[in-house]
Amino acid sequence: MSVNQFSVTVESCDPRDSHAWLTLGRTRLAARRWDGIRRGQKIGIRIRPEDVLLCEGHPGRVSARNVLPGHVRTLRFIPGGIQVDVDVGFPLSAVITRAAAKDLRIRKGIPIFAIVKAVVVTPEVPVEAKFRVSLVGEQGLLTHDRIDFMKAVERAGSLSAAAKALGITYRTSWVWAKEINEIWKTPLIARAHGGKGGGGTSLTPEGRSVLSFAAKLENGLS
């Protein structure tokens, strides 16, 4: 089933009015005002086909703000009814029952009026959401802050340096390293004690693979 999605411009949105006027090509559409609306705003809108009414003649005085003259372009059977595609200055799809299509004698090319209430014209405001990946281990959730800690360990090469970079205590870094290994059930962080290089902390090969996998997920979603 088609979805009515359009790019429009806000023509007027006087707060004293109950609705705003949008322009879509040469057609004006009334829509309910939304928070943040402003004149000249370019935005996407959506109208559900189920919310479009069809009428064989002008309905006269009616509560709906949008009464759009046009003609039927195509119609096709869909589960539960018939989709009627109408040209009202722009392509608009409606879904009606088969009984309604029979009563209206719907066929290609006939004149028709599409009726759309202002309240069903829905703005599609873009959302710039931030997201981070967490991973499910054998014993719980490896959250994004623990993954960031692993990155710090990989860069710094020691728990103390990683703790300093993240602004946490050394004891917290030690607890986190232990927690990460327990969550994953196999070591992701390994500590080397003493020796010629004085010891240190690094990720195991599996730990580096976990970081790589998390990075691929986040890059794929962005």
Is residue 116 a contact partner of residue 52, using CB atoms and an 8 Å limit?
Answer: yes
Give the residue among 78, 112, 107 at the shortest CA–CA distance from 95: 78
CB atoms within 10 A of CB 124: 12
Range of the domain at 21: 4-124
pLDDT in the model for residue 36: 86
Q: Let me know whether 8 and 117 are in one domain.
A: yes
Whole-structure pTM value: 0.60
Last residue of a domain, one of 97, 124, 151: 124
Q: Is residue 44 part of a domain?
A: yes
Q: Let me know whether 110 and 154 are in one domain.
A: no
Tokens 């960031």 sit on residue: 148
pLDDT in the model for residue 199: 54
d(CA 134, CA 212): 13
d(CA 94, CA 73): 12
Q: Let me know whether 112 and 10 are in one domain.
A: yes
- The tokens describing 78, both together, are 């869909």
- The tokens describing 113, both together, are 């009026």
Are β-strands 42-47 and 200-203 bridged in parallel, bridged antiparallel, or unpaired? unpaired
Last residue of a domain, one of 100, 124, 148: 124
Name the helix (H) or strand (E) containing 81. strand 81-87
Cβ-based neighbours of 108, under 8 Å, separated by 6 or more? 72, 73, 74, 75
d(CA 86, CA 191): 69
DSSP 8-state symbol, 158 = S
Of the candidate ranges 84-88, 149-153, 190-194, the one whose mean pLDDT is the lowest: 190-194
d(CA 176, CA 193): 18
* Average pLDDT over all residues of the chain: 90
Tokens 């370019």 sit on residue: 42
CATH number at residue 176: 1.10.10.10
Q: Let me know whether 43 and 147 are in one domain.
A: no
Q: Let me know whether 23 and 117 are in one domain.
A: yes
Please state the separation of Cα 67 from the chain's center in Å: 30
Report whether pLDDT(158) > 90.
no
Q: pLDDT tens for residues 165-207?
A: 999 999 999 999 999 999 999 999 998 765 444 457 889 999 9
